Structure 1
Amino acid sequence: MKPLWKLDRTPPAGTPFDPGARHEVVIVGAGLTGLTTAVMLTRAGLDVAVIDAGTVGQLATGGNTGKLSLLQGQRLAEIRRHHSADLVRAYVDANRDGMDWLVGFADHAGVPYERRTDHTYAQQIDGLVTVREQHEAAREAGLPTRMLSGGDLSSAPFPVVGAVALDDQVTIDPMVVAQALAEELLAGGGTLHTGTRVTATHVLPEPRVETTAGPMFADNIVIATGYPILDRGLYFSKMRAFRSYCVSFRVPGDVPASTFISVDSPSRSIRPVSAADGPGGTAQLVVGGNGHPVGRSDGEAAQVEDLVAWTQEHFPGAEETHRWSAQDYESHNLIPFVGAMPRGLGSIRFATGYAKWGLSNAPAAALRLTAELLGAHRKERPSWMTVLGTRLTVPADLAQGAVEGLKVAAAATSGWVKAESRSVPVPRPAEGEGVVANRGGLPVGISTVDGVTRAVDAVCPHLGGVLDWNDAECTWDCPLHASRFAADGTRIEGPALSDLKPLPRTPQG
């Protein structure tokens, strides 16, 4: 699976890793959060280094749809059901400041983008209740939304019975943004290390990160890795992770000029692409949706094929160009976690939990992290930073956490039971397929990818979940806390820090 945004991009070269080097701030993660934070701090005159196991924007940033919106589907209605109007307003204000910063950066760096009207819409009558709730929450938070009937959107080639609309939102190529951020970081004297994995952080006797290439020291550390790679604070138990899918198409004739996202299932996200907000060439259409908890799907490839079938039904002649997926994290209380990491002695900060809306939440988090690291007095900070930073846990948050905890426990149990039901040797999996079997009481993952059959330890090194095969991306995914691994066992993302152990194959499996 290859995202549309990664075409013909030459990533910044970065700098060779220097074991034992010291910086004022070390940021782990070269996605939007890490890079926006790094640019803000570098502009303020700090010595900043960014380090990533992969390349610039490789994971969530590269899998983004490139929709920068304050409407955010039904997000505001979801938050308002459980929290006060003041908290929703603070969330919107944070995202507005994040959006303004990113658009300002795009103007400064010469990154093109389009202004479009964004819609949260209902595909069926039952969804209109949620659409109205979203409109009410948005208006209460100060957004100039307006309600539209199905007749107002009769030109849409897909089912719409009603929608709430917000003008002047933005579509942009997320990888062009990420690479422009990396280029400014390097031009401003910052340091960028890619292809180097962080394996641990310490605050005593002095703050440092441990990597596969040696240690790096800093006054402050920022963890910007999706799920925090540290178990301090147990944030893996305070969030849930989803994978969702996107397919891009060349479409005969016109594509919608606006963006859309549905409130009812199956979820559908529609985003037009032009030369100004995506790769050059002919106009395209990105259709996304069908999200599910990581490692808990009966068939990831089927989710993608469903998007293709839907698009070809409503846009006859649509020709697929690319397909991809992304992993996003949602906190149980629906508000991103940003700030000091527990037991970090004030030297470790982090940000996570954007629930698919990272283009505005990431720079908002960076603004807050930068204010804290620069020592800005509370009175000098926007009020949303204080409101979001002092929110209280409410019963709904605890209930959501309990429900997710039960799902994790059920996934843990079912994974082991399923693994024990099949013993090796097993038939060689077909190309692109994988199976978990029992070998001597331990789960073994056997897969065939690119003609090579491999066996790996199928127990996640984080907390012992039995891995599930992802047939869309040919990866091993953990249904507990969303760590992911390549077919050969190489760690891709998630709270796990080590690779899966490769195992010898039996004659038949």
Structure 2
Amino acid sequence: MMPLWKLEPTAPLGSPFEPGSRHDVVIVGAGLTGLTTAVMLARKGMDVAVIDAGGVAELTTGANTGKLSLLQGQTLAKIRRNHTTPLVRAYVDANRAGMQWLTAFAEAAGVPHTVRTDHTYAQSPSGLDAVRAQHFAAREAGLATRILAPADLPTTPFPIVGAVALEDQVTIDPMLVAQALTRELLDAGGTLHTGIRATGAHAVPEPRVETADGPLLAQHVVLATGTPIIDRGLYFAKVRGLRSYCVSFRVPGNVPEGTFISVDGPTRSVRPVSTEDGPGATAQLVVGGNGHPVGRSDGETAAIEDLVTWTRQYFPDAEETHRWSAQDYESHNLIPFVGAMPRGFGRIRFATGYAKWGLSNAPAAALRLTAEIIGTDRHDRPSWMTAISTRLTVPADIARGAAESGRVAGALATGWASAASRAVPVPRPAEGTGTVANRAGRPVAVSTVGGVTRAVDAVCTHMGGVLDWNDAECTWDCPLHASRFAPDGTRIEGPALRDLRRLPRSGRD
């Protein structure tokens, strides 16, 4: 499960960690949000430190498809369904600002990229209404989209019965972007600490980030961690964690020149790869889709195999090179949350809820975070910042939130009931598999990976959800709020901060 973009990771590893050091800003997360914010602040002369439990672009950024588009599938139509045109326009303007910043940075830093036409398309007639709705919402928001007549549809091996197109969108290698951002940050005197896990953030008596290796002090803290690692504001309940899958292929002959994402299921995202926007000598095509809420899947490996089967149906000679998945967070109304954390006294900020469109939403969030930290007067900020920050919650948003809360409650009850139905000892799981059973009234998770069988507490350390085995990545995933853990219980991502308790094995359990 290694993303295509991580063939040759060359980002600097960072500098030695010094507990108690002081900075103007400490940013938690060395993904696209954290790095773009860090670079913008460093350009303003601020002393910035970035920390990450892993490395640069360890998780979502490094697993991005590398599609930088303002069309974004059905996103605009879904927002417009329950919100006003000005809010949709503000969302588009924010993403346009993020896209312009990122492409300008790439050009200045020598990161190659390709300009392509992006398509939101229907695989069958049942999807045509959704295509038209996306076109109308995009046009209202100021995008020069066009509905393609049947004669103008692009020639592709896979079926397209209708599409809306937007020209001058971009494909780019997300790892090259992250590495270039890291280099600029370090060249500007910024600090990078990899392998340092944040365990909390506080605004009083002075702003600081707690880590497993000691605190870092700052005037401002930015949580660029996918979903906030502190529960103020309950944002873990205002977004839902989603996993989606990608497979790259070596394809002899031609591949489509544009990028594509379907409106009707199962979702198919298609992106060509060239030497100008990725390791084109290794693969020429990336196919993605089959997303689902974290921890709520009938089989992650099956979702990937379905993508492989679909690709080989339409590209018969396609040879798989890499497969991977990514996790992102979606707010209930598809507008990201960006800004000051409640009860953070204006010293702790965060960003979350990009709904898989982080290449433009992340730099847009960074622009807003930077404006707030440096104290740009509200009247001097772009209008989209004000429009998004003052958005109103409508009944449909509340209904979607209530529905998701119901699903979370259902997953909580189902997980505990399922665990109670099977007592230890259990047979040793086969290689690459895991099972949850009950030991003295407590769910226990047993897995075998790399020939090693381990037992850990099966209860998420965040809100008590019973974990589910991810058979594609060999991880324990929480179906409540998307925390994930390695087989040995080490926390990987999500709102959980503590590792799972490791348990002794006895007999067959």
The normalised TM-score by structure 2 is 0.99
Question: 1:111 maps to which residue?
Answer: 111
* Amino acid in the other structure paired with 2:132: R
CA apart distance, 1:508: 0.5
- Once the two structures are superposed, residues 402-458 of structure 1 have per-residue CA deviations (whole angstroms, 9 ceiling, x without a partner) of 000000000000000000010001011101000000011000000000111000000
Q: SS of the counterpart of 1:412?
A: helix
- Once the two structures are superposed, residues 324-373 of structure 1 have per-residue CA deviations (whole angstroms, 9 ceiling, x without a partner) of 00001011121000000001011000001000000000000000000011
Question: 1:226 maps to which residue?
Answer: 226
CA apart distance, 1:282: 5.1
State the distance in 1 between where 2:391 and 2:31 align. Answer: 26
- Contact in 2 for aligned 1:5/1:62 (Cα 8 Å): yes
Question: 2:95 maps to which residue?
Answer: 95
* Amino acid in the other structure paired with 1:304: I
CA apart distance, 1:153: 2.5
- Contact in 1 for aligned 2:436/2:445 (Cα 8 Å): yes
Give aligned-pair identity as a percent: 74
Question: 2:144 maps to which residue?
Answer: 144
Moved over 4 A (4+): none
- Contact in 2 for aligned 1:448/1:454 (Cα 8 Å): yes
Question: 1:182 maps to which residue?
Answer: 182
The normalised TM-score by structure 1 is 0.99
- Contact in 2 for aligned 1:295/1:477 (Cα 8 Å): yes
- Contact in 2 for aligned 1:275/1:283 (Cα 8 Å): no
* Amino acid in the other structure paired with 2:315: F
Question: 2:370 maps to which residue?
Answer: 370
Cα RMSD for the two superposed structures: 0.8
Question: 2:302 maps to which residue?
Answer: 302
CA apart distance, 1:496: 0.1
- Contact in 2 for aligned 1:266/1:290 (Cα 8 Å): yes
CA apart distance, 1:281: 1.4
Question: 1:382 maps to which residue?
Answer: 382
CA apart distance, 1:313: 0.3
Q: SS of the counterpart of 1:373?
A: helix
Q: SS of the counterpart of 1:214?
A: coil
- Contact in 1 for aligned 2:282/2:321 (Cα 8 Å): no
CA apart distance, 1:283: 5.0
Show the 5 A alignment for 1:185-204.
Answer: 185-204=185-204
State the distance in 1 between where 2:370 and 2:61 align. Answer: 20
5+ long unaligned stretches in structure 1: none
* Amino acid in the other structure paired with 2:214: G
CA apart distance, 1:25: 0.4
CA apart distance, 1:154: 5.5
State the distance in 1 between where 2:172 and 2:366 align. Answer: 19
Question: 2:165 maps to which residue?
Answer: 165
State the distance in 2 between where 1:164 and 1:136 align. Answer: 10
Q: SS of the counterpart of 2:23?
A: strand
- Once the two structures are superposed, residues 291-350 of structure 1 have per-residue CA deviations (whole angstroms, 9 ceiling, x without a partner) of 000000010100000000000000011000000000010111210000000010110000
CA apart distance, 1:94: 0.4
Q: Does 1:395 align with 2:392?
A: no
Q: Does 1:35 align with 2:35?
A: yes
Question: 1:85 maps to which residue?
Answer: 85
State the distance in 1 between where 2:107 and 2:161 align. Answer: 37
State the distance in 1 between where 2:11 and 2:425 align. Answer: 43
Q: SS of the counterpart of 1:37?
A: helix
- Contact in 1 for aligned 2:13/2:55 (Cα 8 Å): no
* Amino acid in the other structure paired with 2:435: V
Task: Tell me whether 9-18 or 261-270 shows the greater mean CA deviation.
Answer: 9-18
* Amino acid in the other structure paired with 2:224: A
State the distance in 2 between where 1:246 and 1:491 align. Answer: 23
Show the 5 A alignment for 1:257-406.
Answer: 257-281=257-281, 284-406=284-406
- Contact in 1 for aligned 2:338/2:350 (Cα 8 Å): yes
* Amino acid in the other structure paired with 1:47: D
Show the 5 A alignment for 1:195-214.
Answer: 195-214=195-214
Question: 1:123 maps to which residue?
Answer: 123
Q: SS of the counterpart of 1:226?
A: coil
State the distance in 1 between where 2:397 and 2:116 align. Answer: 34
CA separation of 1:325 and 1:315: change in aligned 2, threshold 3 A:
same
State the distance in 2 between where 1:150 and 1:73 align. Answer: 19
Q: SS of the counterpart of 2:148?
A: strand
Question: 1:251 maps to which residue?
Answer: 251
